[in-house]
Structure 1
Amino acid sequence: MSAYVVFIREKTNNIEELGIYASKAPVGLAGHSLKPLAMYGTHEVIEGPDVEGVAVLEFPNMEEAKAWYYSPAYQDALQHRLKGGIYRGVMVEGLSKFETDGCKI
C-alpha cells in the first residue's frame, strides 16, 4: 500500500541552511523508491494558517518511507532543513484500491 510524506514549510529562518539542505537532500534519494508529487509549487491554503510551501512524496509503502527518512544520508541533510525553517512533516499510509472503491467522506 502506498505511503506519502508531506512536508509543510511554515516559515524560513535561514535561507543559507536551506541551500545546504537542497544540495545534500538528493544524496539521500539514492537506493530509495520514491516519486515527488508536489515540490513547493503554487499553493492555496484553504484551511488553517498560511504556509510558505508544501512537498508531497509518494513511496511504495510505509517501510520504504521510513527507510528513506531515517537513512543516515537523509538525516545528514535534514539537520540543515530544520535549521533553515519551521516545518511540519507527516507520513501517511494510502488507501488500497479495495478501500477507495467504497470510500465515502
Structure 2
Amino acid sequence: MTAYALALVHSVEFGPEIVEYLQRIDATLDPFGGRFVVHGGNAELLEGSWDDIRDVILIEFPDDTNLRAWYASPAYQEILPLRTRNMNATAVILTGVPAGYRGVDSLDH
C-alpha cells in the first residue's frame, strides 16, 4: 500500500543549509520511488485550528518499506541535519488505504 511522509512545518530558517537540502533531496527520493505530492502552497482552513503551521509537505512512496528505507538511507541521513537544524516540524509516516476503500470499511476491524 502507498505510504506517505507528512511534515507539518512550524517554522523555517531559510538560508544556505535549507537551499542545499532542497537541491539534494530529490536525488535521495528517486531510488525509493518517492515524489512530492504537496510542498507548501496555499492552504485553506475548513475546520479546526492552523495556528502554528506554516507549510505542509507530503511525499508519496510506493509502500511503507520504501519510505522507511529512504528515511534510513545514508544519502538522506547525510542531508537530514541540514533540515533539522533549520526547520521546526512535526514529521509522521502515514499508510494509505487500498484502491476502492470506503469510509465504512473502517468499521470492519
Question: TM-score scaled by structure 2?
Answer: 0.81
- Distance in 2, Cα, partners of 1:32 & 1:80: 21
What amino acid maps onto 2:9 in structure 1?
Answer: R
Q: CA RMSD in A?
A: 2.2
Q: Which of 72, 75, 89 is the equivalent residue of 1:73?
A: 75
What amino acid maps onto 1:9 in structure 2?
Answer: V
Indicate the residue corresponding to 1:97 in structure 2.
99
Unaligned runs of at least 5 residues, structure 2: none
2:102 alignment partner, SS class = helix
Give yes or no for contact 2:29–2:35 (8 Å, CA) kept in 1.
no
Q: How many residues align?
A: 105
- Distance in 1, Cα, partners of 2:100 & 2:14: 44
- Distance in 2, Cα, partners of 1:52 & 1:101: 29
Give structure 1 regions of 4+ aligned residues with deviation exceeding 6 angstroms: none
Per-residue CA deviations over 1:25-73 (Å, capped at 9, x if unaligned) read 1221231112321111112344332312111111111111101111111
Whether 1:11 aligns to 2:11 is yes
1:102 alignment partner, SS class = helix
- Distance in 1, Cα, partners of 2:91 & 2:101: 25
What amino acid maps onto 1:85 in structure 2?
Answer: M
Give yes or no for contact 1:13–1:85 (8 Å, CA) kept in 2.
yes
Unaligned runs of at least 5 residues, structure 1: none
